[in-house]
Structure 1
């Protein structure tokens, strides 16, 4: 456990990396609107970039955990940064080549980077916080900056694209690609000079006896790993499908810029929720936070499904003008208002699930983080399923998919998160 010594700079770097993860990951969903227009694709195909991004987690999750044990936090993070720079670069090249397949390749490569960085950031912040409630509090702080970066992406894409037309293309969002590559470059340079503690680095010492147990031996971890996949699918699917819904002339009927501001407000709600989570994380247990968040999320999602989309409400959103950004009001279907508020609920789930799932794992924590990252592939699968449903039955009906996901998280928070394997040695 990390005690007494100050690790302010490593903590700051981990929080910055948390933001990078969100910036690149959240680029996939609004890009779906662009590729739908450019290549005349369905909602299902429009979400393939997001799927490619998360599919990388399936292949890299466990190897990334092994990398963490073998070369440590710092070198693993630097590798993730280099891979991320390449992935975003390939997506930029897809605009020049005007190739959907090249775009998917870039999203897939970027996904490897996001997986590697996630494997570093989460256990590092939890360790620096000493685990327990303080560890959860640091994770919530990191997640707050994660939301801030996530808020900026749909806003920037919407501003750059404006009204979606048949001439809209990947080239229109090149400034976002340049920004992402710039973030990677700067963070890589800074990280190279930062001293990062290595609590889980394998020093090469001979182990007398290999444990017959692993992270998979803990029921609460297995259920939590499933839960993290479900959670990421909900977090991505709710705003991603909402962007399609609002920008569809036959549904929401808003221009891409306005739709982008509404989706950005979802991420802003996550930012606000994470500020709250960070402030109370040291006093309120992860279980209590997850019970409340998943329960309220179910109610809001159900209201979005059953409410008439013909009823419009005004909600506060970012607005761009010649003088810069400001807050204003946008008229949207009432369903969108409920979905935006779901962001308050999903905001605190990641840290809560991770903290509950690794509690009591001891020496199995590093490998558990890699397994966790493998399950993040759910962030690609659930939105893809949701948009398949949207293509065939309608946007609002498709929200039964995240509703079922939230119901599972409610079960996990109440029952599945209990450690029933306390007899397994973890020292």
Structure 2
């Protein structure tokens, strides 16, 4: 499977520096570890939105669709900033390739820190609009990180193992989304006064701002490869759009992020429903952690499955260890009942992974099929069966983003960076689909029935996994 980095014959990154990297990938373990911290941070920050939604909905007395504007402001930045990036790259050339990955990462971190800092005045002035502005600026910084860090991870090592590195870094990203509901939920829901206010969001986001600036300093002083690849960078034109599988992949990323964010954003309110679980926010946050934790476990599985091993037995041994660690962790924190349920869901996920035979597109299609089945159960069933069906979706979301990204970018050659920016732009699905689901819930009076909206998203992912992924240029390639 081709990685995010293009083939050596046509890649703007197939410079001498790039060749040195791929030939001595072990020497770039340190830089990869540092860059992986970015994936953890934006995973943590993104999942904090799921805590903000019920909190600000209570503080400002918002309807469902109004509360989902939190995701619109956040993921809307992905679209706007990526679109501006794309337009600039068409007319002036790829900006990241000009300034270098390292500088691009630092800029993204500083902008994101500014957005976090604005949460303090937003709470002081009791302004929902200022909260939305702060989220937009925060997400603008993360957008720059996404555009920069994803292809950077791909070139920090051999191209043939880029998919494994992408799944590994996304697993660390999911670790951030897993602990965010626990830490963020504790700080925002439990460490509050008896009055309903937004003051409890100040400390978490000021802390995030400090962490982002600290990482920016570390990146600045670290010896990271400062590749630009400017010598072969296309100066103008939208050549990436000639590839049909990329265009369909852009839609697929839109649908995936929209579906994933919609489900995650709804879990706390879903588990509050009397006929589902009847939990309060403080209790429900633990199950939100299971949802995002499932994505983390699945991505660790994906990183192992897509890696190259001389002995496949070692691959299965590592997966078994991951399963055992998962069981022991859940058992130690939540007890035997939850641990048995989680390991059972992990086993089902592993069976589907085996049915996919570690073929990326086939696995995406089968995972999408599994999510559709789980959504049907969560929509029309009740009680623990419905609750765990929705939570289990996280496991099957796991490998989708990095694998779809990799499939869509395959064979783009010199247009890879431009294609990457278009795929990041498609993350705007997280801004559009959640409010549609919220509006559907308001109109029908049923949050449960509104899961039909993300179900349509996963139906498209199923199509892309089995059919739409196939590389085919719509015109003569460059």
In the alignment, what sits opposite 2:178? 151
Q: How far apart, in 1, do the equivalents of 2:247 and 2:194 lie?
A: 46
Instruction: Indicate whether 1:86 and 2:137 are aligned.
Output: no
Q: How far apart, in 1, do the equivalents of 2:193 and 2:386 lie?
A: 25
Deviations 1:209-241 (A, max 9, x none): 967661100000000011111111111111111
Q: How far apart, in 2, do the equivalents of 1:248 and 1:101 lie?
A: 28
Q: How far apart, in 2, do the equivalents of 1:414 and 1:399 lie?
A: 23
Deviations 1:145-183 (A, max 9, x none): 101111122222322313999933321133321331122
In the alignment, what sits opposite 1:375? 426
The counterpart of 1:55, out of the listed 70, 76, 85, is 76
Q: How far apart, in 2, do the equivalents of 1:129 and 1:294 lie?
A: 30
Within-5 A mapping of 1:201-240: 201-203=229-231, 214-240=239-265
8 Å CA contact 1:68, 1:201 repeated in 2: no
Give 4+ residue runs of structure 1 displaced > 4 Å after superposition: 163-166, 209-213, 248-252, 422-426
Q: How far apart, in 2, do the equivalents of 1:422 and 1:16 lie?
A: 38
Within-5 A mapping of 1:145-184: 145-160=172-187, 161-162=189-190, 167-184=195-212
Instruction: Indicate whether 1:395 and 2:454 are aligned.
Output: no
Question: For structure 1, which segment, 10-19 or 121-130, has the greater mean C-alpha deviation from structure 2 after superposition?
Answer: 121-130
Q: How far apart, in 2, do the equivalents of 1:242 and 1:31 lie?
A: 13
Q: How far apart, in 2, do the equivalents of 1:96 and 1:251 lie?
A: 36
In the alignment, what sits opposite 2:133? 105
The counterpart of 2:164, out of the listed 134, 137, 146, is 137
Number of aligned residues: 399
Secondary structure in 1 matching 2:103? helix
The counterpart of 2:299, out of the listed 269, 274, 285, is 274
The counterpart of 1:306, out of the listed 368, 371, 380, is 380
Structure 1 residue 251 displacement after superposition: 6.8
Q: How far apart, in 2, do the equivalents of 1:120 and 1:153 lie?
A: 23
Deviations 1:238-265 (A, max 9, x none): 1111122224679753211111111111
The counterpart of 1:68, out of the listed 87, 96, 105, is 96
The counterpart of 2:435, out of the listed 384, 390, 397, is 384
Structure 1 residue 200 displacement after superposition: 4.7
Secondary structure in 2 matching 1:420? coil
8 Å CA contact 1:62, 1:373 repeated in 2: no
Structure 2, unmatched stretches of 5+, are 1-13, 15-20, 87-93, 309-357
Deviations 1:31-81 (A, max 9, x none): 011111001111111111111011111211144463312211111111100
Q: How far apart, in 1, do the equivalents of 2:426 and 2:223 lie?
A: 30
RMSD (Å) for aligned C-alpha atoms: 2.3
Secondary structure in 2 matching 1:227? helix
In the alignment, what sits opposite 2:289? 264
In the alignment, what sits opposite 1:316? none
Secondary structure in 2 matching 1:376? helix
Change in CA separation of 1:162 and 1:245 when aligned onto 2, cut-off 3 Å: farther
Q: How far apart, in 1, do the equivalents of 2:74 and 2:197 lie?
A: 19
Secondary structure in 1 matching 2:22? coil
Structure 1 residue 194 displacement after superposition: 2.2
Secondary structure in 1 matching 2:122? helix
Q: How far apart, in 1, do the equivalents of 2:298 and 2:122 lie?
A: 36
Structure 1 residue 14 displacement after superposition: 2.1
Structure 1, unmatched stretches of 5+, are 314-333
8 Å CA contact 2:298, 2:398 repeated in 1: yes
Structure 1 residue 107 displacement after superposition: 0.5
Q: How far apart, in 2, do the equivalents of 1:98 and 1:211 lie?
A: 45
In the alignment, what sits opposite 2:123? 95
The counterpart of 2:33, out of the listed 12, 17, 26, is 12
Change in CA separation of 1:98 and 1:74 when aligned onto 2, cut-off 3 Å: same
Question: For structure 1, which segment, 357-366 or 88-97, has the greater mean C-alpha deviation from structure 2 after superposition?
Answer: 88-97
8 Å CA contact 2:288, 2:391 repeated in 1: yes
Greater share of helix: 2
Give TM-score, length-normalised by structure 2.
0.79
8 Å CA contact 2:39, 2:172 repeated in 1: yes
Q: How far apart, in 1, do the equivalents of 2:193 and 2:413 lie?
A: 54
Question: For structure 1, which segment, 383-392 or 61-70, has the greater mean C-alpha deviation from structure 2 after superposition?
Answer: 61-70
Instruction: Indicate whether 1:36 and 2:35 are aligned.
Output: no
